[in-house]
Structure 1
Amino acid sequence: MYPVDLPSGGDSELTSASIKYLSSLESEPADSDWFILPSKSKVAITACNIKQLQLFNDKPECILLTLHKPDEPQKVVALHLCGNWWHVDDVLRTSNKSRNGLEVVKCTIERVLMLVLSQLVDRSLGDEQLFSNHRPTENCKLFWTHGEAVGFYSFKHKGSLCENCISQCYELPVLDTIFVRSHCRRRGFGLLMLQDFCDMFPNEDVLGVSSPLSVSMVAVCKKFLMQHKEHRDVLYEVEAPGSWIQRRNIWLNIQLGRYSQSKNSPSSVEVEKDEGSNQL
């Protein structure tokens, strides 16, 4: 079984366990345990090889413990969860065969998987950050395939408060971020997530995709709208809170060539770094 399959508490329990473990480790003798990597090399489990990683952007007190190689301090090799150290890839696995396709994120441990996908896999902590930490109440869905969480998307409900603004609410549902692991891209997963988002709101006349769109997200939207003509007047690139003056019809802008010079950026919806119309 893997962390997501084990009983776990909320973020306060996670933080408490992390602090307690680190405190006990610092008080133990110099002899250390070792974490064995898939390559059969090993990393000493000592306080100097452990860092604290913030789980949520608005809860700095909620932390995870991460293990690093002494010669690669920016690369996370394991996380401490459910009383044990787990390799990063194992954190994303499940032994529950019923986990398949898109599932709503409901508990803290599933939000840990969101953090692993958005911050740790396919990159080091020193690399450019494409995603900020999610809020503990963020609306998200994880994408599971063959016992592994390989991607996610997050979205805003119509009427939910805009971030960094206490007086404005979203005027329409908005697809915020999409991510697919590099080894699982070009399989159509991005299209499936966009389809799922649209299917959730069948009675809405207008749906938003967070601005600015990356080159790859434009490609996904183009392929999706070529297959689903009924959504051409529905999908809009929007800026919060999504009033009419903050909306741009995606299909119209594709036809006018207004995305031809688009560039990927940290604030873009991110699904694939290769330009073109390849499936994810």
Structure 2
Amino acid sequence: MHVTLASKPVPIGLSNVGFVPLYGADLRQKVLALFSPQDQFTAVGLYLLDRWWSLEDILKTADPARDGCVEVETLGERIVLYILNRVVYRAMEMSSDELPFLCHGESDNAKILWKDGQAVGFYSVKPSGSLCSTFLTQCYQLPIMDSIFVRKCHRDNGLGLQMLENFVECFKEDCLGLRYPLSKVMYKVCGKYLSLYPADRDLLWEVESVGRPSQRTNIANKIQYLPFTEHSVANRVGAENEGVMEKVTSRIQEAMEYTVEIVVRF
């Protein structure tokens, strides 16, 4: 038996069909997944509403006008979030310098980024005061952006910056956290944000654990010393230009002193 997904026939058999947990370690809710015959760890479709759906079809909405960051509320949106995180990001698009995100829980605070009716990214947040799953007796000390992702085919269009701006707009605290370790791409996004909003240089912090003051590093300060960020490049260029001007000024002064000395002796 075969099913056609994304214009390609995929065989269906006991060896490539199985249930996967929608919320990671929580095994109460599962979805039936179809895996590629060439890769038994990568899902190519899910069985929903009495039929098989390709992943790309699930990532589309019937409303082509849906756009921007939309809070995840329905089961369907949870499934879209699962596909973006566990399949698209982890199995297909994760960079070598990045760490995989954990599965999002059933009640996790998350938003999906929609563009022209397609799900192209997401971010999730651990609100201030919520319990930490790793340290059950401790609560997060500030809102922390726990994960953020934009599909590769939609990058370099300002979408990461759009989600960061949305995160800032939704939380009015004096300090906001981003989960350690940040990727190179996310440092660049933060650099763009801070260049647009320089008054927020003390707003964004890279945080570990629950984000106590001793577990925070100011992102604006850190960006200045990172070699791959536009902000640090601009600082280096400025410093180099200042160095050149100092040398030129020094030589002009030396020349003037030498000229004065000749005139006096003459």
* TM-score between the two structures when normalised by the length of structure 1: 0.75
The residue that corresponds to 2:185 in the other structure is 216
Question: 2 CA distance for matches of 1:276 and 1:233?
Answer: 18
From the two aligned structures, give the one with the greater helix fraction: 2
The residue that corresponds to 1:138 in the other structure is 108
* Superposed CA RMSD: 2.0
* Deviating more after overlay: 136-145 vs 71-80: 71-80
Aligned ranges for residues 100-139 of structure 1 at < 5 Å?
100-121=67-88, 124=91, 130-139=100-109
Letter of the 2:197 partner, please give it.
Answer: H
The residue that corresponds to 1:240 in the other structure is 209
Q: In the TM superposition, what is the alpha-carbon distance from 1:98 to its structure 2 partner?
A: 4.4
Letter of the 1:116 partner, please give it.
Answer: I
The residue that corresponds to 2:141 in the other structure is 171
Q: Which runs of 4+ in 1 moved over 3 A?
A: 122-125
Q: In the TM superposition, what is the alpha-carbon distance from 1:124 to its structure 2 partner?
A: 3.6
**Corresponding residue SS for 1:48:** coil
Q: In the TM superposition, what is the alpha-carbon distance from 1:197 to its structure 2 partner?
A: 0.4
Q: In the TM superposition, what is the alpha-carbon distance from 1:57 to its structure 2 partner?
A: 2.2
Aligned ranges for residues 1-280 of structure 1 at < 5 Å?
32=1, 34-38=2-6, 40-121=7-88, 124=91, 130-202=100-172, 204-255=173-224, 257=225, 259-260=226-227
Instruction: Label 1:166 to 1:73 Cα distance change in 2 as closer, same or farther (>3 A).
Output: closer
- Segments of structure 2 that go 5 or more residues without pairing to the other structure are 231-266
Say if 2:126 and 2:145, in contact at 8 Å, map to a contact too.
yes
Instruction: Label 1:217 to 1:124 Cα distance change in 2 as closer, same or farther (>3 A).
Output: closer
Question: 1 CA distance for matches of 2:81 and 2:199?
Answer: 31
Identity, % of aligned positions? 37
Q: In the TM superposition, what is the alpha-carbon distance from 1:122 to its structure 2 partner?
A: 5.8
Say if 2:64 and 2:118, in contact at 8 Å, map to a contact too.
no
**Corresponding residue SS for 1:196:** helix
| Alignment: residue pair count | 226
Question: 2 CA distance for matches of 1:155 and 1:171?
Answer: 13
Q: In the TM superposition, what is the alpha-carbon distance from 1:249 to its structure 2 partner?
A: 0.8
The residue that corresponds to 2:233 in the other structure is none
Instruction: Label 1:72 to 1:248 Cα distance change in 2 as closer, same or farther (>3 A).
Output: closer
Q: In the TM superposition, what is the alpha-carbon distance from 1:99 to its structure 2 partner?
A: 2.0
Q: Which is bigger in relative contact order (C-alpha 8 A, separation at least 6)?
A: 1
* TM-score between the two structures when normalised by the length of structure 2: 0.79
Instruction: Label 1:222 to 1:51 Cα distance change in 2 as closer, same or farther (>3 A).
Output: same
Question: 2 CA distance for matches of 1:52 and 1:200?
Answer: 36
Question: 2 CA distance for matches of 1:248 and 1:72?
Answer: 40
Question: 2 CA distance for matches of 1:174 and 1:221?
Answer: 14
Question: 1 CA distance for matches of 2:91 and 2:198?
Answer: 40
**Corresponding residue SS for 1:95:** coil
- What does the per-residue CA deviation read over 1:175-217, in whole Å, with 9 as the maximum and x for residues that have no partner? 1110011101111000000000001123x11111111111111
Question: 1 CA distance for matches of 2:91 and 2:113?
Answer: 22
- Segments of structure 1 that go 5 or more residues without pairing to the other structure are 1-31, 261-274
* Deviating more after overlay: 185-194 vs 155-164: 155-164
Letter of the 1:213 partner, please give it.
Answer: L
**Corresponding residue SS for 1:102:** strand
Question: 2 CA distance for matches of 1:114 and 1:225?
Answer: 28
Q: In the TM superposition, what is the alpha-carbon distance from 1:235 to its structure 2 partner?
A: 0.8
